């Protein structure tokens, strides 16, 4: 059903009206950060009964013939809200879901798109990550959101795997370059680059404002960021934080935090400190600059310790 | 249409027994019941009866202390420590560590060898749901003394392998040994030692219908520490121990001897490493 131009404008103009109650009323509306690139910023919170687990940046890219959703959201409700935004912006079919990694705030909204039978694109290691963690994510969402708010939330199994790189043609001259990364934020991270607008969609390879969460490899993440910094881009889309940020400037804070985590943890290991002693001692100053540090920094230190003790 | 990936029945039972009491995923409410909920006390009574053949236990008081974070930072690697009072040290030959709500609740059984004791132990465990942890010390005279800690953590058994399974396998069996306070310095001056075995320590996954994935269960089931050819410590363990099983203990003895660690996994793989632990001067 084609929308008249006027009706589309009216819908987009009052973005708030498209958003449901609860989380929808509290988040910013979708932002078109570059032509055809739309981002719904997430809240700097953890999953709760009132926020749809809409805590990550999610969005979509509109090509000439098709739409790719990038990270379908943190719950069924979040995914449904994202889908309504897509449908208000374009009548083109949602042909692709890109799951940038397995974390529930990015992937558990996929069920909202299941009836469209999209191609689901993920890192070659994504199926294993989902298989290991899906049950635990369901239990976590039920516990944190309550059974009612969590009901129906689920990832979808990937139908196309990326081992190095995949070019995704959305038609109309828009071809996304999707890259698979070595273990970094997680062990199954994807990033996307849109040459048409020089936009680098990094998802959780880039955190802004909200404390990064380490669930892959600290050394690997620093290496991947180093390589990505060499990529020219007009803007980057982080997994948490503003809808778009300057690149590579936005990498500096994250790199600083990860380096402090690495250097502080190495020093603690060399000094003979045990794993239980380090979270209250390493990189506290650097952590204090980030939101929700009290929830995640300690765990980052513990994870870094378990990686670096084997160096 | 559920696409569940249940764990293998073997691991539901756990390598260390207490099979009939295990009901993985029993009630999604496990994660939010308070410590005082009567069901928790019942669970411990049932576990105890199964593990110790109905023998009675008494509160340990000062004799045995279990330290665990009340709110764990990382459910997949919760550091715990066990310590005995000086009076209890010569009398306790085994300590059982139980994580009540885990699929495999008996996380480890520590046994002192002729050349060692259980005065100070550490381990890193997986915690699957908010749970009581219990430690039970077995005295030579047959008494069982218990202590408990309530731990808020969840999901530790759902993410069995931290990062890259392939990388974890490549490094499998490599060992580390650290002496945070230097080498042992005589029979009366025990020092802390930490040993670790690189190993995925995973319960694995049965075949997932859609992805056709099957990840085999591979976990360390036994670890043995010897100093100067005499056994110091023996640990029986399985999937409630974190990836890269890491244990701490106290070692007394003359410096300059060989510390040897032997480990065995459920696939009958054997790993061993040895270090000469410091010389005087």
pLDDT, position A172: 96
Question: Considering only A23-27, A52-56, B47-51, B274-278, which range has the smallest mean pLDDT?
Answer: A23-27
pLDDT, position A98: 98
pLDDT, position A15: 41
Question: Considering only A70-74, A157-161, B28-32, B126-130, which range has the smallest mean pLDDT?
Answer: B28-32
Cβ <8 Å between A139 and B154: yes
Cβ <8 Å between A143 and B28: yes
Question: Considering only A7-16, A198-207, A254-263, B142-151, which range has the smallest mean pLDDT?
Answer: A7-16
Question: Considering only A23-32, A98-107, A257-266, which range has the smallest mean pLDDT?
Answer: A23-32
pLDDT, position B19: 40
pLDDT, position B259: 97
pLDDT, position A75: 98
B31–chain A nearest CA distance, Å: 7
Read off the pLDDT of residues B143-162 as tens digits, 9 standing for 90 and up. Answer: 999 999 999 998 888 765 65
B45–chain A nearest CA distance, Å: 26
pLDDT band at A18 (very low <50, low <70, confident <90, very high): very low
Read off the pLDDT of residues B167-183 as tens digits, 9 standing for 90 and up. Answer: 777 889 999 999 999 99
A7–chain B nearest CA distance, Å: 38
Question: Considering only A24-28, A233-237, B53-57, B169-173, which range has the smallest mean pLDDT?
Answer: A24-28
Domain ranges of chain B: 26-277
Mean pLDDT of chain A: 92
Residue A222 contacts residue A254 (beta carbons within 8 Å): no
Chain B partners within 8 Å of A139 (Cβ): 25, 28, 31, 129, 154-155, 158
**CA dist., res. B82 & res. B98, Å (int):** 12
CA-based nearest residue to B197, from B112, B116, B271: B271
pLDDT, position B165: 66
Read off the pLDDT of residues B200-223 as tens digits, 9 standing for 90 and up. Answer: 898 876 555 556 677 788 999 999
Mean pLDDT of chain B: 86
pLDDT at A190 over 70: yes
pLDDT band at B30 (very low <50, low <70, confident <90, very high): very low
pLDDT at A31 over 80: yes
Cβ <8 Å between A131 and B181: no
Q: Is A196 or B30 the better-scoring residue by pLDDT?
A: A196
- State the pTM of this model: 0.88
Question: Considering only A19-28, B72-81, B228-237, which range has the smallest mean pLDDT?
Answer: A19-28
pLDDT band at B77 (very low <50, low <70, confident <90, very high): very high
Chain A partners within 8 Å of B194 (Cβ): 274
Task: Look at domain B26-277 and name its CATH class.
Answer: mainly beta
Averaged pLDDT, A202-231: 97
Q: For testing the chain B interface, which of A99, A302, A308 should be mutated: the one with the most B CBs within 10 Å?
A: A302
Q: What CA–CA distances, in Å, run from A21 to A17, A24, A105, A153, B128?
A: 10, 5, 19, 18, 33
pLDDT band at A215 (very low <50, low <70, confident <90, very high): very high
pLDDT at B24 over 50: no
pLDDT, position B204: 78
What ipTM, to 2 d.p.? 0.85
pLDDT, position B21: 43
pLDDT, position B29: 46
Q: Is B203 or B198 the better-scoring residue by pLDDT?
A: B198
- Per residue, what are the HEC states of chain B? CCCCCCCCHHHHHCCCCCHHHCCCCCCHHHHCCCCCCHHHHHHHHHHHHHHCCCCCCEECHHHEEEECCCECCCCCCEEEEEEECCCCHHHEEEEEEEECCCCCCEEEEEEECCCCCCCEEEEEECCCCCEEEEEEEEECCCCEEEEEEEEECCCCCCCCCCCCHHHHHHCCCCEEEECCCCCCCEEEEEEEEEEEECCCCECCECCCCCCCCCECCECEEEEEEEECCEEEEEEEECCCECCCCEEEEEEEECCCCEEEEEEEECCCCEEEEEEECCCCC
């Amino acid at each position: 059903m084609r929308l008249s131009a006027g009706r589309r404008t009216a819908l987009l103009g009052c973005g708030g009206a498209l958003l449901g109650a609860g989380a929808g009323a509290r988040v910013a509306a979708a932002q078109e950060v570059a032509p055809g690139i739309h981002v719904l910023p997430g809240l700097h919170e953890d999953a709760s009964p009132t926020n749809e687990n809409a805590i990550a940046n999610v969005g979509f890219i509109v090509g000439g013939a098709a739409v790719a959703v990038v990270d379908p959201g943190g719950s069924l409700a979040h995914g449904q809200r994202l889908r309504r935004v897509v449908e208000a912006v374009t009548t083109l079919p949602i042909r692709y879901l890109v799951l940038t990694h397995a974390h529930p705030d990015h992937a558990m909204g996929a069920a909202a798109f299941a009836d469209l039978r999209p191609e689901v694109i993920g890192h070659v290691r994504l199926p294993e990550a989902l298989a290991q963690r899906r049950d635990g994510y369901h239990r976590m969402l039920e516990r944190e959101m309550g059974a009612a708010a969590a009901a129906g939330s689920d990832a979808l199994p990937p139908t196309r795997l990326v081992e190095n790189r995949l070019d995704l043609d959305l038609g109309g001259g828009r071809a996304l370059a999707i890259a698979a990364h070595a273990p970094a934020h997680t062990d199954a991270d994807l990033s996307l680059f849109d040459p048409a607008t020089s936009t680098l969609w990094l998802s959780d390879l880039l955190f802004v404002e909200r404390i990064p969460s380490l669930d892959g490899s600290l050394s690997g993440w620093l290496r991947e960021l180093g390589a990505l910094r060499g990529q020219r881009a007009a803007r980057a889309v982080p997994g948490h934080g503003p809808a778009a940020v300057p690149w590579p400037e936005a990498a500096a804070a994250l790199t600083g935090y990860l380096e402090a985590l690495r250097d502080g943890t190495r020093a603690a290991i060399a000094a003979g400190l045990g794993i239980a002693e380090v979270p209250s001692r390493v990189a506290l100053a650097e952590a204090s600059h980030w939101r929700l540090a009290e929830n995640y920094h300690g765990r980052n230190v513990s994870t870094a310790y378990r990686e670096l003790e084997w160096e | 249409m559920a696409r569940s990936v249940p764990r293998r029945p073997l691991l539901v039972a756990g390598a260390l027994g207490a099979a009939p009491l295990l009901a993985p995923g029993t009630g999604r409410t496990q994660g939010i019941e308070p410590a005082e909920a009567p069901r928790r006390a019942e669970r411990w009574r049932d576990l105890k009866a199964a593990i110790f053949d109905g023998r009675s236990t008494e509160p340990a008081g000062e004799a045995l202390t279990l330290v665990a974070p009340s709110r764990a930072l990382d459910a997949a690697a919760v550091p715990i420590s066990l310590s005995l009072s000086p009076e209890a040290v010569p009398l306790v030959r085994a300590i059982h560590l139980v994580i009540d709500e885990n699929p495999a609740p008996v996380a480890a059984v520590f046994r002192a060898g002729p050349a060692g004791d259980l005065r100070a132990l550490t381990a890193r465990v997986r915690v699957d749901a908010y749970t009581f942890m219990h430690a039970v010390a077995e005295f030579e005279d047959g008494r069982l003394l218990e202590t408990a800690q309530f731990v808020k953590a969840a999901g530790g058994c759902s993410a069995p392998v931290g990062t890259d399974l392939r990388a974890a396998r490549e490094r499998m069996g490599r060992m580390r040994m650290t002496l945070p306070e230097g080498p042992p310095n005589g029979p009366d001056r025990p020092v802390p030692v930490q040993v670790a075995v690189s190993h995925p320590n995973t319960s694995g996954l049965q075949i997932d219908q859609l992805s056709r994935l099957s990840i085999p269960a591979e976990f360390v089931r036994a670890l043995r520490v010897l100093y100067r050819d005499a056994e110091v410590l023996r640990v029986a363990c399985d999937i409630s121990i974190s990836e890269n099983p890491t244990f701490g203990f106290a070692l007394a003895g003359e410096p300059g001897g060989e510390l040897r660690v032997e480990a065995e996994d459920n696939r009958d793989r054997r790993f061993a490493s040895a270090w000469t632990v410091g010389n005087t001067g």
